[in-house]
Amino acid sequence: MSGGAGFIGSEFVRQTIASHPEDSVIVLDKLTYAGNVHNLDPVAEVPSFRFVHGDICDMELVDTLISDVDVVVNFAAESHVDRSLEAPGQFIQTDVFGTFVLLEAARRAGHDRFLQVSTDEVYGDIELGTSSEGDPLRPRSPYSASKAGAELMVWAYRASYGMPVITTRGSNTYGPYQYPEKIIPLFITNAIDDQPLPIYGDGSAVRDYLHVADHARGIDTALRTGTPGEDYNVGFGGATNGREIADLVLAALDKPDSLKQHVRDRLGHDRRYAVDTAKLRSLGWRPEVPLERGLRETVAWYRANEAWWRPLKSGEFWDFYRRNYKPLDAGAARPS
């Protein structure tokens, strides 16, 4: 699998090794700013586990590794919307071209299954109701457009070469080991340090927050019991806006409301995502961690693991932070 040193990928690896000790796992990961080989420390000594430091865009390396595996699971991606707004090129390179390299190598080698980890953001902003797997893809950010581009390539390999591909479209995920730039780990680590929690615009954009353990189990269910050629949504079914996330984090840490700070809105900010998960549920999967509990446990994890995240909030992290976050009156976002 690729991208296994990242947030969701490392949870998937830890779960797979615990639940399926008969499987061997090879992780290919470039260790970008978001990847951290220490996320895999709990399995580092397991004989059936191997870590390879490298890029999914490296055709020669991918060809060599894929000849040894039966199943490919692709987590590797540039994954942060705000970074995609600033510099989309690397998103196209890894998320689209990298997926093509994996597909092409898998096609040549022959294999049992290829699972592409995608996102509910490919459906784009939806005002009402929920997105189902057959709905059109209407991505609106460079990140979601890159993920949709990858999906279209996966579809092309399915239709053209009959490849046994499965795609999962997960909703906003949170939990331990998440790089502190997405809203939940950023707000938790800022609040621990009594720093402001930057809420985009009026803070009313809604997401469906899913605990990483539930997301990884959902991917495993789709991989092992899903039908080749099908796509599966993965989500909890909640609807929480940015102000509410700030309130939950502040309450869990017993910090004052005054830490909430409204900042300039994200360009083209998608207002709402919501997915229908009946298809994955029909395979027996259910999300188990409600947001209030998951968030409390995640806050406890970040408090207990400062040695994991403090080194990440330095240098380039703050350069990006300063470029990305602007006061509310620094000019309106361009029309979306």
Binding site for ligand TYD (CB under 6 A): 81, 172, 182-183, 186, 198-200, 205, 207, 242, 266
200 binds, among ligand NAD, ligand TYD, none (CB under 5 to 8 A by kind): ligand TYD
Active-site residue, from 11, 82, 120, 151: 120
> Which is it for the CA torsion 131, 12, 307, 291, positive or negative?
positive
Q: How far apart are CA 61 and CA 309, in angstroms?
A: 31
| 135-167 per-residue burial string, b: 16 or more CB within 10 A, e: under 16 | bebebbbbbbbbbbbbbebbbebbeeeebbbbb
Segment holding 99, helix H or strand E = helix 99-109
With both helix axes pointing from N to C terminus, report the angle between 291-304 and 183-192 in degrees, rounded to the nearest 10. Answer: 50
Segment holding 166, helix H or strand E = strand 165-170
Q: Is 22 a catalytic residue?
A: no
75 binds, among ligand NAD, ligand TYD, none (CB under 5 to 8 A by kind): ligand NAD
Active-site residue, from 11, 78, 95, 121: 121
Q: Closest approach of Cβ 97 to ligand TYD, in Å?
A: 21
98 binds, among ligand NAD, ligand TYD, none (CB under 5 to 8 A by kind): ligand NAD
Site of tokens 């239709």:
159
133 vs 326, beta carbon nearer ligand NAD: 133
Alpha-carbon separation of residue 151 from 115, 136, 139 (angstroms): 11, 12, 12
Q: Closest approach of Cβ 261 to ligand TYD, in Å?
A: 10
| Coil, strand or helix at 335 | coil
98 vs 198, beta carbon nearer ligand NAD: 98
Q: Is 120 a catalytic residue?
A: yes
Active-site residue, from 143, 174, 209, 232: 143
Q: Closest approach of Cβ 323 to ligand TYD, in Å?
A: 13
25 vs 259, beta carbon nearer ligand NAD: 25
Residues marked as catalytic: 120-121, 143
